[in-house]
Amino acid sequence: MQGAKKNTWIAGTAFLAIVLLAMTWFLLVAPVRAQAAETRAQTATTVVANDALQLKLDKLKADFANLDEYKADLKTLQKQIPTTAELSSYLLQLDAVAEKNEVTLINVTTQPGQAVMFDATAAAPAAGQAASTEVQPSAAPSPSPSASAGAAPGATTAPKAPTAPAGFSAIPVTFTAVGTYEDVLAFLDGAQHTKRLLLVQSFAGTGQNKTEANGGVPATEVGDLELLVGGYLWVLPDATAVAAEDAEEGEDAPKLPKPDADANPLVPVEGEKEPGN
Q: What is the pLDDT of residues 116-171, one digit of tens each?
A: 887 655 444 444 444 444 555 654 434 333 444 444 545 555 566 677 778 888 99
Would residue 23 count as lying in a domain?
yes
Show the beta-strand stretches assigned E in the chain: 104-110, 114-119, 134-137, 169-179, 198-207, 225-235
Domain residues for the domain of 26 are 1-65
In this structure, the answer to whether residues 107 and 184 fall within a common structural domain is yes
Would residue 139 count as lying in a domain?
no
Length of the chain: 277
Q: What is residue 1's predicted lDDT score, i.e. its pLDDT?
A: 54
Strand partners, 170: 114, 234
Q: What is residue 120's predicted lDDT score, i.e. its pLDDT?
A: 59
Answer for the pair 122, 129: CB distance below 8 angstroms, yes or no.
Answer: no
**CATH number of the domain enclosing 226:** 3.30.70.60
In this structure, the answer to whether residues 188 and 86 fall within a common structural domain is yes
**Sign of the four-CA dihedral 36, 41, 42, 46:** positive
Would residue 2 count as lying in a domain?
yes
Q: What is residue 98's predicted lDDT score, i.e. its pLDDT?
A: 93
Q: What is residue 158's predicted lDDT score, i.e. its pLDDT?
A: 59
In this structure, the answer to whether residues 169 and 202 fall within a common structural domain is yes
Domains contained in the chain, number: 2
Q: Per residue of the chain (277 residues), what is the pLDDT tens digit?
A: 555 666 676 777 777 777 777 777 766 777 777 777 888 888 888 989 999 999 998 888 888 888 888 888 888 787 888 888 889 999 999 999 999 999 999 889 999 988 888 765 544 444 444 444 455 565 443 433 344 444 454 555 556 667 777 888 899 999 999 999 999 999 999 998 888 888 999 989 888 888 888 877 888 889 899 999 999 999 988 877 655 455 555 555 556 566 566 666 666 656 555 555 5
In this structure, the answer to whether residues 169 and 218 fall within a common structural domain is yes
* Cα separation, 244 vs 239, whole angstroms: 9
In this structure, the answer to whether residues 61 and 172 fall within a common structural domain is no
In this structure, the answer to whether residues 172 and 49 fall within a common structural domain is no
In this structure, the answer to whether residues 60 and 113 fall within a common structural domain is no
**Sign of the four-CA dihedral 75, 81, 84, 90:** positive
In this structure, the answer to whether residues 85 and 61 fall within a common structural domain is no
In this structure, the answer to whether residues 94 and 60 fall within a common structural domain is no
In this structure, the answer to whether residues 21 and 115 fall within a common structural domain is no
Would residue 108 count as lying in a domain?
yes
In this structure, the answer to whether residues 55 and 190 fall within a common structural domain is no
In this structure, the answer to whether residues 98 and 226 fall within a common structural domain is yes
